[in-house]
């Protein structure tokens, strides 16, 4: 396989590998920002299309501080749900509330998968890695909202359940099943494919890729309910961080070692 750019001839301790991970750090930040903004704009544009907002670009962008620049924590959809509920339009409030993860992150998931495949076909590894990270952010958001922050009294999923007059269990099942399929497919197919394409002969770099992927999905996003969302979300986040994160990481590492062993034996077989 032809290597291009900073990947050519790299190993874990070479300067070129440091460049790879500097690029990766920027890509991680940018991919997170895109996933976050797509989520918030999905809320805003849905409210605008339903005539509950006059300007879809009018988010609450927060202040110019380091936390907001790095993690976009102060940026909010700027949608007032109270008048929608007061008008007896609960289902429309639900649609606006669920649009962030279902439409915004759903689109980022589909687009990232398609563009990753296209970059891989053209053997452009830098772009393939960026779209891979965008896929990580997308499936991470799936987990962060369903089920981690579904069983709570506020935020998007609570508003969705309230507007539809249903139990959070309905939201957990209806959205949880396709989200679980997407997350499982990511770790079963997308991640192994990225390992093989991005770092075909570098097991150490594959291990780092796995570790970063599992950390972002199960700790960074999966841990979002650890505080301020009630006891159920707290325990779901604890399970994500302290059970799923190490378990999936180890399973992916073991699978990667097995694949490397099979590939080595195939290469040495006359």
- pLDDT per residue as tens digits for the range 1-58: 344 445 544 444 455 677 878 899 999 999 999 999 999 999 999 999 999 999 999 9
pTM attached to this predicted model: 0.91
* Burial category of 212 from C-beta neighbours within 10 Å (exposed 0-12, middle 13-18, buried 19 and up): middle
Nearest Cα neighbor of 79 from 105, 104, 109, 58 is 58
Can you give the pLDDT at residue 219?
98
Mean pLDDT of 193-204: 93
pLDDT above 90: percentage of residues in the chain: 84
Tell how far CA 32 is from the center of its chain: 8
Tell how far CA 206 is from the center of its chain: 19
Q: What's the total number of domains in the chain? A: 1
Can you give the pLDDT at residue 15?
59
Mean pLDDT of 139-159: 97
In the 8-state DSSP scheme, what is residue 76?
Answer: B
Can you give the pLDDT at residue 19?
80
Give me the domain span that covers residue 159.
Answer: 5-268
49, two tokens:
């299309």
Q: Say yes or no to pLDDT of 197 above 60.
A: yes
Q: Over the stretch 47-99, which tens digit does the pLDDT of each residue have?
A: 999 999 999 999 999 999 999 999 999 999 999 999 999 999 999 999 999 99
- Cα torsion 65, 127, 130, 13 to 10°: value is -100
Can you give the pLDDT at residue 9?
43
Q: pLDDT averaged over the chain?
A: 91
Can you give the pLDDT at residue 104?
98
Can you give the pLDDT at residue 238?
98
Confidence of residue 152 (pLDDT cuts 50, 70, 90): very high
Q: Say yes or no to pLDDT of 254 above 60.
A: yes
At CA 104, angle to CA 88 and CA 247, rounded to 5? 115
Can you give the pLDDT at residue 92?
98
Mean pLDDT of 179-184: 98
Can you give the pLDDT at residue 51?
97
């Amino acid at each position: 396989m032809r290597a291009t750019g900073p990947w050519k001839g790299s190993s874990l301790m070479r300067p070129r590998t440091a460049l790879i991970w500097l690029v990766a750090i920027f890509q991680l930040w940018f991919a997170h920002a895109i996933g976050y903004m797509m989520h918030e704009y999905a809320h805003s544009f849905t409210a605008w299309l339903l005539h509950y907002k006059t300007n879809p670009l009018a988010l609450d962008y927060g202040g110019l501080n380091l936390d907001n620049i790095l993690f976009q924590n102060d940026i909010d959809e700027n949608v007032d749900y109270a008048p929608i509920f007061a008008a007896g339009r609960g289902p429309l409030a639900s649609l606006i509330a669920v649009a962030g993860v279902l439409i915004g992150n759903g689109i980022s998931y589909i687009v990232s998968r398609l563009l990753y495949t296209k970059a891989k076909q053209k053997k452009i590894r830098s772009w393939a890695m960026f779209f891979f990270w965008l896929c990580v952010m997308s499936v991470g958001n799936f987990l962060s909202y369903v089920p981690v922050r579904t069983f709570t009294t506020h935020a998007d999923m609570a508003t969705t359940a309230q507007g539809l007059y249903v139990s959070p269990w309905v939201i957990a099942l209806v959205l949880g099943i396709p989200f679980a399929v997407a997350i499982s497919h990511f770790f079963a197919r997308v991640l192994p494919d990225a390992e093989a394409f991005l770092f075909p002969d570098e097991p150490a770099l594959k291990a780092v890729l796995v570790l970063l992927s599992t950390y972002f999905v199960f700790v960074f996003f999966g841990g979002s309910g650890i505080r301020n969302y009630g006891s159920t979300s707290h325990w779901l986040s604890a399970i994500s961080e302290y059970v799923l994160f190490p378990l999936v990481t180890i399973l992916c590492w073991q699978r990667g070692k097995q694949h490397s062993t099979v590939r080595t034996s195939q290469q040495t077989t006359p």
